Structure 1
Amino acid sequence: MKHLLSSRHDDDGYPPKPRAMAMAALMLCSLMAVLDTNIVNVALPTIADALSISSSDAIWVVNIYQLAGACAILTFAALSYRIGARRIYISGLVVFIVTSLGCAWSPSLSWLVFFRCFQGLGAAAMMSLGPALYRMVFPSRLLGSAMGFSAMIVATGIATGPTLGGLLLAVGDWPLLFLINVPVGMVALVLTWRYLPVTPGSRIAFDGWGAVWSGLMFGGLVVGVDELRSAEGSRWMLWLVLGVVSAVLFIRRQQRFDNPLLPLDIFRSSRFSMAAVTSFFAWVGQASAFLSVPFLLQGALGYSPLASALLFTPWPLAIMLSAPRAGRLADRFSPPLICTIGMMIFILGVISLALLESGAGWLDVAWRTALCGLGFGFYQSPNNRELMGSLPRQFSGTAAGVMASVRTFGQSLGAALVALALSGGLLAMAGGEPVVLALRVAVASAVIALVLSALRLRAPRE
């Protein structure tokens, strides 16, 4: 990490000392936003019992957090140009802290879902603008390393979330999962207020209708994809129609409005467009494989929940180790080349998991999950660097919004495909065991990402 604080006479961005403090602020905020999903997951049965609600109703405590964020990502990115990225980011942090208190004090599911919705909006404000602020804080020559560090923080939250949640539930009741955000959030608030770069706003008109269509587009598509998990009714179709119609209206609005929410001209950059599309398919593959592994370990291989959790841990740990190193390599060598190698490793890891046989030992499982994490870590950081670095600095907020949007929708689609495979919904189209079929879906999506990434190797640099 020492090289992240190195200095040269021609550096843009922050000098080393304030850079370190800004990095600490961004790290704390990202960690809280990611942890707040994973910590709550393990507490859903406890929350359901405490509030006397069904398990299916308790799922909304997680779903509304993710859905609210998905609907608002592009809106926050656009507002950052009018109000300033720093103000949006700090406002999101304040909302996150206040609503954490509200969640802890909620007497019913309705109140808890209400506060979780706004907590998700606060998290989205931070996560959607974090990469843009990294680009302002760090010199251009260290952008890949910064993206690698950001990926490491997210992986840390994924790896430690369930364990931390279990420890907090062991010493207290479920409100403690939300109250822990308050002291950590106050420290982050002091750091962000003092060290994040001041970004002036402008008087440009805000695309209000664009924000409406954007929210309905992502909300409809995310909920529609999620509803595919249910075999009952046709609600999924209604949600998907809403999402598609809103997407058409959103695109038409962006073409006609002088200051659009998402300037479509940015997609004329082949580097940016290819990085965004590649990222989408990579996240579908990652989510599909990530969610399939627990079912593989506990079902086909017969491991206990505790043992499967331990055997699953090498995946995020490998991302933590590989992402910063891959980002550093991307500052020196071709990011698409490193992405392509990383995706090849990831595919080999998923295929090796699908080939596991009953009775496989813990070492056989552990090196395969680690291989998946190693590959995705080497893919993610360089691709994020390519996506963020392919546009001029003044479009950093928009690039960060697109990056967060494709990640969110890719993860949602991957989760829905796994649910379809496990429920037998895809068995009519392909044979095989449900879990193995889900892993095949992950491989197929990752292969698309691999091909797209490899095509970039022959494309001229802009």
Structure 2
Amino acid sequence: MTTTINDGLPIPQRYGAILTIALGITVAVLDGAIANVALPTIAADLHASPAASVWVVNAYQLAITISLLSLASLGEIFGYRRIYQIGLLVFSITSLACALSDSLLTLTTARVLQGFGAAAIMSVNVAMVRIIYPQRFLGRGMGINALIVAVSSAAGPTVAAAVLSVASWQWLFAINLPIGMMAFILGLKFLPANTNKVPGQRFDIVSSLMNALTFGLLISAISGYAQGQDHRLILLEVLVMVVVGWFFIRRQLSRPSPLLPVDLLRIPIFTLSLCTSMCSFAAQMLAFVSLPFFLQNTLGLDAVSTGLLLTPWPLATMVMAPISGRLVERYHAGMLGGIGLAIFACGLYSLALLPTEPSHLNIIWRMLLCGAGFGLFQSPNNHTIVSSAPRSRSGGASGLLGTARLLGQTTGAAMVALMFNLFASHGTHASLILAGTLAVGGAIISLLRMTQKTASQAAAKTTVKH
């Protein structure tokens, strides 16, 4: 389908395109969260140790992290739609391979390939939203997108518990096949082709390998520290990462179309928005990894009750994200983000101050506060990130946004392990205090953006040097 995309898609096609995006990003993000709950069951069924079974989660996350920016670059060269569709196809087929796995090795291998498919979807997801929606309604599109990502991330444990209560762990992966193929078929009809490509841009294989090493070693070091690996090995990983990363960044500075978009990082409002995104997702992960320990181990609740008490958070985000997506069309994203993260921080601190034996209502209103604050922040922040980049660099902006989210989540999960090691009997309390502090820091950074040009001004007036 050929469509003029300079100012979005016409209404019937726009709805079909955003449905395609919604289905794809939902399964890709959700699959990163649901496997955690099923790990004990998977380990027992495949006769694997708990430590070895962690690779079912790590392999997926590593594959996404090391390939996200490379696939975003390929999207700018060959078209976002093509990369998105290939990602859907790979993700769907490898999901079936995960469901049919009969050993930890085959499952881990399938998860690596599934991660590459998910990375293709995530890498151009935001860039696709930018060409689907007219510029004047971009905030609404980003609101819907932020809603899907946030709810999918937060609802993972609840969805996994629901599926496992009626079916085996294989269905956690098998369910992706019909959803992914439905999105693929819809994409053939509704997704537009992007014409704003950088002339003469070529894929940089050397930079791609250096990117994979840099971010792969970073995630490996963070995860290794969280799991108590030998400190000498972690130190070696960090040293190699620093050396490779230094040469990687130097190479990017000399490239006309860098794989790591260092040119975009010269836009102050873009960089500040990335920092706030990392803070928010680190804070969210600190809360979501630590709270189940408090609810189950301290309050004695079962897994189903825990999932239900966590559900008000994504529900509040679901309500607030589209509203904030409309508000950003009238108010500065820095102000909205600052207010949202301040509310988020209040919710986190209030959870840390829960009484010894809280009622369910006491927990629920605090969860609602966290979800509302997170939703108010996320949509305007994503809108700023994508709209402050030139349209031809939407792929790079989308890739960096996804990378910031993954790094924030990985760091948050690692910090939970650190808090539990330092404060054995009050690990959840310490994690929530730290999460609230990160949210406050993010709020301050967000408010600093009010001194910068708005996203539309930055896009119009800033000339990015290639």
Which category of TM-score, normalised to the shorter sequence, fits these structures?
over 0.9
Paired with 1:416 and 1:129, the residues of 2 have a C-alpha distance of: 27
Match of 1:165 in 2: 160
1:310 corresponds to 2:308: yes
Deviations 1:188-243 (A, max 9, x none): 11111121111356642211111111111111111111111233422222222232
Kindly indicate whether the alpha-carbon contact (under 8 Å) linking 2:88 and 2:181 is maintained by their aligned counterparts in 1: no
Q: 1:307 to 1:167 in 2, by over 3 A?
A: closer
Matching residue of 1:178:
173
The within-5 A match list for 1:21-420 is 21-158=16-153, 160-199=155-194, 203-234=200-231, 235-420=233-418
The alpha-carbon deviation at position 133 of structure 1 amounts to: 0.2
The CA deviation string for residues 16-58 of structure 1, in whole angstroms up to 9 with x for no partner, is 0000000111111011112223333332222212211112211
Q: Give, in whole Å, the separation in 2 of the partners of 1:454 and 1:63.
A: 35
State the shift of 1:341 in Å. Answer: 0.5
Structure 1 residue 120 displacement after superposition: 0.6
Q: Aligned partners of 2:268, 2:153: CA distance in 1, in Å?
A: 32
What is the Cα deviation at residue 76 of structure 1? 0.7
Opposite residue 44 of structure 1, the aligned amino acid is L
2:450 aligns with one of 445, 452, 457: 457
Identify which range, 346-355 or 160-169, moves more after superposition. 160-169
Conserved 8 A contact 1:301-1:357: no
SS state at 1:264 partner = coil
Q: Is the 8 A contact 2:147 2:321 kept in 1?
A: yes
Per-residue deviation, residues 105-132 of structure 1 (Å, max 9, x unmatched): 2221111111110101100110121110
CA distance in 2, matches of 1:374, 1:167: 24
RMSD: 2.0
Return the offset for 1:67. 1.0
1:172-202 CA-to-partner distances (Å, cap 9, x unmatched) read 4332222222222221111111211113566
- Do the aligned partners of residues 257 and 356 (structure 1) sit closer, same or farther apart at CA in structure 2, a change above 3 Å counting? same
Aligned partners of 1:324, 1:80: CA distance in 2, in Å?
A: 27
Deviates more, 1:352-361 or 1:433-442: 433-442
1:104 maps to a residue whose letter is: A
Cα deviation, residue 305, structure 1: 3.1
Q: How far did residue 280 of structure 1 move?
A: 1.6
1:238-269 per-residue CA deviation (whole Å, 9 max, x = no partner) reads 22223222221210110123332134222221
- For the pair 1:438 / 2:431, whether they are aligned, the reply is yes
Distance in 2 (alpha carbons) for counterparts of 1:119 and 1:334: 38
Please, which moves more after superposition, 244-253 or 19-28?
Answer: 244-253
What SS is found at the alignment partner of 1:259? coil
Q: Give yes or no for contact 1:276–1:387 (8 Å, CA) kept in 2.
A: yes
C-alpha distance after superposition, 1:324-350 (max 9, x if no partner): 111111112111111011011001001
Distance 1:442 1:41 in 2: 21
1: distance between equivalents of 2:28 and 2:262? 29
Counterpart residue identity of residue 226, structure 2:
R
In 2: Cα distance, 1:296 partner to 1:334 partner:
37
- 2:445 is the counterpart of 1:448: no
| Alignment CA distance shift 1:164-1:280 (3 Å) | closer
For the residues of structure 2 that align with 1:160 and 1:440, how far apart are their CA atoms? 22
Aligned to 1:5: none
* Percent identity over paired residues: 41
Distance 1:231 1:307, change over 3 A: same
Distance 2:161 2:282 in 1: 28
How many residues align? The count is 448
2:450 partner SS: coil
| Residue identity in the other structure for 1:227 | G
Question: What do residues 128-179 of structure 1 show as CA deviations (whole Å, max 9, x unaligned)?
Answer: 2111000000011111111111122223424554444344434443322222
SS in 2 for 1:228: helix
User: Counterparts of 2:219 and 2:62 in 1: how far apart (Å)?
Assistant: 7
| 2:64 and 2:115 in contact (8 A); partners too | yes
Q: Are the equivalent residues in 1 in contact too, given 2:295–2:306 (CA < 8 A)?
A: yes
The whole-number CA distance in structure 2 between the counterparts of 1:28 and 1:188 is 6
Map Cα deviations across residues 45-80 of structure 1 (whole Å, 9 max, x no partner). 222122111122112111111110011111011111
Shift of 1:432: 8.5
Unaligned residue ranges in structure 1 (runs of 5+): 1-9
Amino acid at match of 2:211: S
Taking a change above 3 Å as real, the CA distance of residues 437 and 168 of structure 1, as seen in their structure-2 partners, is: closer
Task: Please state how far the C-alpha of 1:433 moved relative to its aligned partner.
Answer: 2.7
- CA–CA separation in structure 2 for the residues paired with 1:231 and 1:168: 31
Q: Structure 2, unaligned stretches of length 5 or more?
A: 459-466
8 Å contact from structure 1 (residues 159, 317) kept in 2: no
Q: Cα–Cα, structure 1 residues 275 and 163, in superposed 2: closer, same or farther, change >3 Å? A: closer
